[in-house]
Chains A and B, each alone.
Chain A
Amino acid sequence: GAVVSQHPSRVICKSGTSVKIECRSLDFQATTMFWYRQFPKQSLMLMATSNEGSKATYEQGVEKDKFLINHASLTLSTLTVTSAHPEDSSFYICSAEGQHSNQPQHFGDGTRLSIL
C-alpha cells in the first residue's frame, strides 16, 4: 500500500532554532500534501495544504512566515518551523493525496517537536 515517510520522528532543540521536517511519498506521486498539528489529547488541526510547484495554502490563524512550506517535487514536501519557541512544541503530521482524488490520504508517522 501507499507509504508516507516523515522525518525526523523526534526533535528536541533550543528556543530560536529553525527546524525542518520532511514528508515523502515513497511509492506514489503526491500532487497535494497536507500538514497537521496535534496538541496533546486533541484532534488534528490542518495547518496548510501544499501543492507541488505552487505556494502553500494556509489555514486561518497559521502564520505562513513562521511555518514555511516547500513542495518542490511530487514526492517531497518540507515544513520549516522558523525561530521555534516553546509554544511551537507539538506533534506535527503530514499526509499525502495521490493523483486520483478519490483515494484516501495516507499519513506519516508524525514528528514530535520539543522546544526547550
Chain B
Amino acid sequence: GEDVEQSLFLSVREGDSSVINCTYTDSSSTYLYWYKQEPGAGLQLLTYIFSNMDMKQDQRLTVLLNKKDKHLSLRIADTQTGDSAIYFCAEILPSGGYQKVTFGTGTKLQVIP
C-alpha cells in the first residue's frame, strides 16, 4: 500500500522544539520529503532525505528516518510563530520513469507565543 499517515495537529510554545511524525507503508520509496504549506499558499520544500540515510540536519531542521519501522520525523528546533503552518511528509516512489509523490495527511502546527 501507499498510505502515508501523520497526526493531524500539534501545538507548541514558541522557543520549544516541535516533532512532527510520519508513518509510511511502502519500503521501496527512494526519498522522503517534508513540505510546508501556509494558508492559501502552495507547498514549500523544506528538506528531504534519501532512503539510505538515517538522519539529516539542516539548520533548525532535523529529519530522522527509521526504515525498519517506516517512520519519519521532522524536528524543528527553537520553533517560531512563523513556523505555524501545515506540514506534509511525502513518499517518493519510482513510477514509469518519473517520481510518484504520495503525500501524508498533513500536520497542522500551531505555535503559541
Contact = CB atoms under 8 A, between A and B. Distances in A.
**Interface band, chain A:** 20 to 34
Contacts of A42: 105-106
Given A104-B48, A106-B45, A109-B42, A97 B105 contact: no
Contacts, number: 52
A49 B48 CA distance: 22
A98 B24 CA distance: 25
Contact of A93 (B42, B48, B100): B42
B101 A105 contact: yes
Interface in B31-55: 31, 33, 35, 40-45, 48
Interface of A: 6, 31-32, 34, 42-44, 46, 49, 51, 57, 93, 95, 97, 101-102, 104-110, 112
